Amino acid sequence: MRTVFGIDVSKVSSEVAILVNGEKVHGYTMPNDATGFARLLGDLKTVHKPEFVFEATGVYSRRLQAFLEDNGYAYTRLNPLEAKKQLDSLRVRKTDKIDAEKLAQSQFVLNRKPTYIQEEVYQHLRDLSRFYQNLTEDIVRAKNRLHKVLQVTFPELETILSVPTGEQYWNLVTAFPCKGFVLDLNHIELSQNASLTSVWLT
């Protein structure tokens, strides 16, 4: 007897469809918390060698993965695009309950191999790499916004230094974000402000 759990993972809850030899025997909505996983574990203990199929949904499916790995269960995690391609021919309309059932149903047809589980350190490295990439993109966007604003308020500021970057440049932008800040100062005050920003203006 072959039992497959198809699980459609969402942010707060997941739809679980349990199929035995290709026929659905049970289905329910499971909260993605300790209570929900306790119920799922109870169901797992009633069957022999259950199989699991679900789509990778970023941080949401991570909790399910961790639960299965901690309890020693293998699983098949599908790329969302791959899953869509495989399931489109099986479903008439799309709902979370239908997706969970079709995920399980397709496993009887495709007999996918369990997903290879990498060491945890590689997951951490991927997370750090993604975080670094996001930070870099945020910095680029912030610099582009600043450039556009300075073109309105003080376009000459970016030409004072040879390169509009570095500590001196950012001190300069902070001290004089608008040309009015310069025009309001006399020569002595301007020199004092220039020394504070580590830039000598003449």
In the numeric block, which tokens belong to residue 177?
């974000």
> Which of 149, 176, 141, 148 minimizes the C-alpha distance to 161?
176
Q: Dihedral sign, CA of 80, 85, 86, 92?
A: positive
Task: Give phi and psi for 192, each to the nearest 5.
Answer: -65, -45
Residue 111's beta-bridge partner residues?
none
In the numeric block, which tokens belong to residue 81?
């695009």
CB 142 within 8 Å of CB 169: no
pLDDT at 92: 56
pLDDT at 13: 95
pLDDT at 34: 93
Task: Give phi and psi for 180, each to the nearest 5.
Answer: -60, -30
- Taking only the tens of pLDDT, the chain with its 202 residues reads 899 999 999 999 999 999 999 999 999 999 999 999 999 999 999 999 999 999 999 889 999 999 999 999 999 999 888 888 877 766 556 787 899 999 999 999 999 999 887 777 877 887 788 899 999 999 999 989 988 888 888 888 888 877 777 888 888 888 888 878 877 777 777 776 666 555 444 4
CA distance 93 to 98: 8
pLDDT at 151: 86
